Structure 1
Amino acid sequence: MAAVAVHSAVLGEGRPTLPYAEAGRSGGVPLVLVHGYLDSWWTFEPMLRRMPAGLHAYAPTQRGHGDADKPAEGYLPEDFAEDLVAFMDGVGIERAVLVGGSSGGVYARIVAGRRPDRVAGLVLLGVPATLADKPKADEFWEAVSELKDPVDPELAASFVDGLTATPLGRGFLQTLADETLKAPAHVWRETLRGLLETDLRATLSGILVPTLVVWGDKDPILTREDQQTILDTIPDSRLLVYEGVGHVAYWEDPDRVLRDLTEFMADRL
């Protein structure tokens, strides 16, 4: 198992300070792991613990989430994308493979489209093409649109439960739920509002870097058609379908994700 170290990145004036986890060999191929809605770097802990020596992974916790600074505003997808570039600047990463999990892939692909000079490749793990046609997203908005502090722990537990096709350890799920509760109510509301009100299909345009799309065929949120939209829009992209896997492949089968990621980089980069 690889050692995981946690540091802080100061992004500069007007931007938050972000904690980040780091694993792998210094000098290895840099990866930046981008978590999704309400997560923190902890969502990638199973991957970080298994990080091969040839890779050097950084997993920042985004503004408002986990132990990161929690400004009153700045929760549009473009805000998170700008923080991502500032994070790379802050820790000295010139160019990296961006690995986006769930909605974190939206922020990663915005950077890939706008700053291809900083992106060697893009990996999208259970990332929606759009949320406009996702009933579960609308249902969750009903639950959080009027949310007040303190956030109900039962709501947090329900958010992380049921995303995988196979059961996970209760201790890991509790850690994820506890991390979710570190986000105040305004972060729950405004981050989801930003994802729902942004034209996410438009964020797929202009991406010319090699792209790997991973989707579990038991995903309770995303469909094969949704993933096909990504393939049809990004020219140099390919899809891997994980049979029997749910929305979060990097929880269910982190070893396979790392193998496929390593092969993708060897073949395309």
Structure 2
Amino acid sequence: MSTIAVKSAQLRSGLVLPYAEAGYPDGLPVVFVHGLADSWWTFEPLLRQLPAAVHGYAPTQRGHGDAERPPDGYRPEDFAGDLVEFLDAAGIGRAVLVGASSGGVAARMVAGSHPDRVAGLVLVGVPAALADKPGITALWEKVQALEDPVPRAFAEDLLGDLANRPLGRGLLATMAEENLKVPARVWQETMRGLLEADLAATLRGILVPTLVLWGDADSVLPRADQQRIL
């Protein structure tokens, strides 16, 4: 079982992001990118199981978890820019990027714009588009109505809807606590940025080896959506 070290990286912009690091110093750098409202804790069980061939990093994105919360900058291109700056700050020349959910949008943007920094791309439950999905429209209505403090029931219900099988109670509680650290404005601006972005354009120009993972019980992302990504 791999040991996890929690560190911080100061980006060129001055923004400070916490990140978890695990695995082996000489292993292949793999950077895990979480989605909306999550943090590096999303990948905690995975980081503890990394094989000897992997050196894992999991940054927490701006506005999320214990990262700094600037007043703006929550569009997909902002998160992608932070990801490139994180690679620089952590001294990572080239890495495999693993993007989960909306984190995969930023990851694929970096893969398309900075292929020299990306050895491979893994997209885990990542949408091809969002505006055409009724479940996302319903979620957006709830997010627009959020006020601080974000209700615990909202976070717990959202987490419960995302898993087909029960999560460990400790992990679920930790993820809910991380979700509740995200201010209502960050929920709203991040989701607005995703809905307004031309997500189809972020699929163009990706030349690095790419693996698409998708859950066959996913009620939000249909199979056709994943075929569009392929």
Same-fold call, TM cutoff 0.5:
yes
| CA offsets 1:184-209 (integer angstroms, 9 cap, x no match) | 11101000000111111110001011
Q: Counterpart in 1 of 2:7?
A: 7
Partner residue of 1:23?
22
Task: For 2:158 and 2:204, locate their aligned partners in 1 and report how far apart those are by CA, in whole Å.
Answer: 30
2:223 aligns with 224
Identity %, equivalent residues? 64
In structure 2, relative to structure 1, the CA distance for the partners of 1:174 and 1:95 (3 Å cut) is same
Letter in 1 for 2:162: L
Count of residue pairs brought into register by the alignment: 230
Aligned partner of 2:98 in structure 1 is 99
Structure 1 counterpart of 2:189: 190
Runs of 4+ with >3 A deviation: none
Aligned-pair CA distance for 1:146: 3.1
Q: Match for residue 208 of structure 1? A: 207
Match of 2:176? Answer: 177
Provide the residue aligned with 1:254 in structure 2. Answer: none
Partner of 1:163: 162
Rounded to whole Å, the distance in 1 between the matches of 2:11 and 2:216 is 38
- Alpha-carbon deviation of 1:15? 3.9
Distance 1:230 1:91 in 2: 29
Instruction: Kindly report which structure 2 residues correspond to 1:31-42, keeping only aligned pairs within 5 A, or say none.
Output: 31-42=30-41
* 1:162 Cα offset (Å): 2.1
- Structure 1 residues 196, 58: closer, same or farther in 2, change over 3 A? same
After TM superposition, list the pairs within 5 Å mapping 1:38-117 onto structure 2: 38-117=37-116
Which letter does structure 1 place at the counterpart of 2:7?
A: H
Q: Which amino acid aligns with 2:156?
A: A
Deviation (angstroms), 1:136: 1.2
In structure 2, list runs of 5 or more residues that go unmatched: none
Question: Match for 1:4: what amino acid?
Answer: I
| Cα pair 1:15 1:83 within 8 Å, conserved | no
Q: Which runs of 5+ in 1 are unaligned?
A: 232-269
For 1:15 and 1:177, locate their aligned partners in 2 and report how far apart those are by CA, in whole Å. 28
Return the TM-score normalized by structure 1.
0.84
SS of residue matched to 1:162: helix
- 1:186 partner letter: R
SS of the equivalent of 1:110 reads helix
Cα distance per residue 1:200-238 (max 9 Å; x no partner): 11100010111000111001211110000001xxxxxxx
Q: CA RMSD in A?
A: 0.8
Counterpart amino acid of 1:73? D
State the shift of 1:132 in Å.
1.7
Matched residues in 2 for 1:220 and 1:205: separation?
Answer: 26
Q: State the alpha-carbon separation in 2 of the partners of residues 91 and 24 from structure 1.
A: 15
Q: Distance in 2 between matches of 1:216 and 1:191?
A: 24
SS at match of 2:208: coil
- Give me the whole-angstrom Cα distance separating, in 2, the residues matched to 1:69 and 1:209: 31
- Cα distance in 2 between the residues matched to 1:169 and 1:97: 28
Instruction: Give how far 1:133 is off.
Output: 1.2
